[in-house]
Amino acid sequence: MKNTTSNPRFLGAVSAIVWKDLQAELRSRELFSAMLVFSLLIILIFNFALELDIKTRQSVTSGVLWATFAFAGTLGLNRSMAIEKDRGCMDGLLLAPVDRSAIYFGKVISNLAFMLIVEIIVLPVYSVLYNVNLFQPGLLMIILLGSIGYVGVGTLLSAMSVQTRTRDILLPILLFPVVVPVLLAAVKASNGFLEGVELSEILFPINLLITYDIIVIALAFMVFDSVVEE
């Protein structure tokens, strides 16, 4: 039985990985800029492709938003793990005398931070282009829950796919089928908040998101060691 979360060494390793990722990204801006530019391009393409009236625009908002987050997220997840693999740094992490799930949690937190920063920038741009108010506490909570589930499962799968030669293609192929429940629930719940329906009507997708997040993180905690081992 793992006894890690109360272990200061475990928490120290998690924070060291997060700090290292943020520091490296602040210098290179490689991952962040790719995700951001890609997200903005998707929004612009949708904006021009779907010449819709104001009412219809509102109804497609959550779908367009989550499609944008999902595509940009895949780009970030792939790059984040590739940085570890390409210079052998993943071996450096695996050689540290800490529980390997610390590596998973460290990568999840930093990937989530990158995704949330991109989302924070994308939301106002989307609001202006589509003339929709996205700054609602309920919607922001759904974006957070959906992002946690997406990054949780994505980080695990990217640790798997990065070990293959076809990692860029393999990650979306593995990830999108698994993440369908998150995307469906997030779109449904986001739509509910945008249309101002009663909370009780969207309780099911919200509960599904919370359950998915818990299951994915618990599962990844248990299997990450096997996933990264040769």
Partner 1 sequence: MITVKKLVKRFGLKTVLRGVDFEVQPGEFVALLGPNGAGKTTFLRILSSLSRPSLGEVKVAGFRLPDEAAAVRARLGVVSHLPLLYGDLSAEENLRFYARMYNISNYELRVTEVLEMVGLDTRRRDLVRTFSRGMQQRLAIGRAVLHNPEVMLFDEPYTGLDQDASSMLDEVLKTVAAKGRTVVMTSHDLARAEDLATRFDILSRGVIAASTTRRQLRRSNLLTFYKEALT
What is the binding site for partner 1 (CB under 8 A)?
9, 12-13, 15-17, 19-20, 23-25, 27-28, 83, 87-89, 91-99, 229-230
Q: Which is nearer to partner 1, 84 or 119 (CB)?
A: 84
Type of residue numbered 159: A
C-beta of residue 158 within 8 angstroms of C-beta of residue 110 = no
C-beta of residue 152 within 8 angstroms of C-beta of residue 216 = yes
**Token pair of 186, please?**
């997030």
Rounded least distance, CB 83 to partner 1, Å: 8
DSSP annotation of 51 reads -
Type of residue numbered 216: V
Q: Which is nearer to partner 1, 96 or 117 (CB)?
A: 96
Classify burial at 21, counting beta carbons within 10 Å of its beta carbon; exposed 0-12, middle 13-18, buried 19 or more. Answer: buried
Query: CA-to-CA distance for 178 and 77, rounded, in angstroms?
Result: 15
Q: Which is nearer to partner 1, 21 or 119 (CB)?
A: 21
CA atoms within 13 A on the CB side of 6: 2
Q: Which is nearer to partner 1, 97 or 137 (CB)?
A: 97
Rounded least distance, CB 81 to partner 1, Å: 14
Rounded least distance, CB 19 to partner 1, Å: 8
Q: Which is nearer to partner 1, 12 or 124 (CB)?
A: 12
Query: CA-to-CA distance for 11 and 8, rounded, in angstroms?
Result: 5
Rounded least distance, CB 159 to partner 1, Å: 14
